[in-house]
Amino acid sequence: MSLKDRVTECLGTDLIELSEFRGDVCVEIPKDRVVEVMTKLKQEEGFDFLSDVFGVDNLDLYAAKAKKAKKKKKGEEEEEEPKKQGPPPPRFEVIYLLLSLSTNERLQVRVRVPEDDMDVPSVTGIWRSATWPEREAFDMYGFKFKGHPNLRRLLMWDEFEDHPLRKDYPLEGKGEERHLNYDTV
């Protein structure tokens, strides 16, 4: 039984989308089922190692797609103003890279996160190694990992206010500077 079939069977109704690219399997699961699905994957499929947790900001991608759709529609029928269909797609994604040390199989798990609800269940209870990657993802994108034991910034300093890997953050920053008062530290 291939990994694809086993994962499909294991996830059942929690599986939103499964894709495969050159042997790498990627599944998408709903945000509120993260802990249950991950526990199942660890215990039943043997994904006992969490390689990484990181985020993706699809701001530009969605903007480009929306623009393209608008253009196409205008070319076809010019009188009708193109309307947005349904809510906009969630802007962020959290991606978990799992590895099974016994079978040397890898699995990518994606969770879509809308901009107005950045809460994501933490997987630190399943893999302890998730603590620092989740802190980094919080630092760079602003995901609020619920249940994380110590959700502080990992790379930027504590007083830093933005999340610099978001696409709307300027590359050269907004002129933030770090000041330390050593008398009180």
Partner 1 sequence: MNFQAIQGEGWLLTKAEQLINWGRSRSPWPFPYGTACCGIELMCALASGYDMARFGAERVAFTPRQCDVLIEAGTITKKMVPVLKRIYAQMAEPKWVIAVGACACTGGVFRTYSTQQGIGSVIPVDIYIPGCPPRPEGILYALLKLIDKIEADHPLYKKRQQVVEALEATK
Which residues lie near partner 1 (CB under 8 A)? 155-157, 164, 169-174, 176-180, 182
CB of 180 to partner 1, least distance (A): 4
- The residue among 152 and 174 lying less far from partner 1, judged by its C-beta, is 174
> Which residue carries 């959290």 as its tokens?
94
Name the DSSP class of 35.
H
Q: Which is nearer to partner 1, 104 or 181 (CB)?
A: 181
Q: Give me the least distance between CB of 56 and partner 1, in Å please.
A: 19
Q: Which is nearer to partner 1, 1 or 185 (CB)?
A: 185
The CB-of-166 to partner 1 minimum distance in angstroms stands at 11
- Distance of alpha carbon 23 from alpha carbon 121, whole angstroms: 28
Distance CA 19, CA 13 (A): 16
Burial profile 63-73: b = 16 or more Cβ within 10 angstroms, e = fewer = eeeeeeeeeee
CB of 159 to partner 1, least distance (A): 10
Determine the straight-line distance between the first and last CA of the chain, rounded to whole angstroms.
58
State which residue, 83 or 174, has the beta carbon closest to partner 1.
Answer: 174
What lies within 8 Å, CB to CB, of 73 at 6+ separation is: 80, 82
Q: How far is the CB of 162 from partner 1 (least distance, A)?
A: 8
Q: Could you tell me the smallest distance in angstroms from the CB atom of residue 164 to partner 1?
A: 5
Q: Given the complex with partner 1, which of 1 and 171 has the nearer CB atom?
A: 171
- The closest of 113, 108, 118, 111 to 151, measured between CA atoms, is 118
Q: What are the φ/ψ torsions at residue 141 (nearest 5 degrees)? A: -120, -20
Q: Nearest-5° angle of CA 11, CA 15, CA 19?
A: 110
Name the residue nearer to partner 1 (CB basis): 81 or 177: 177
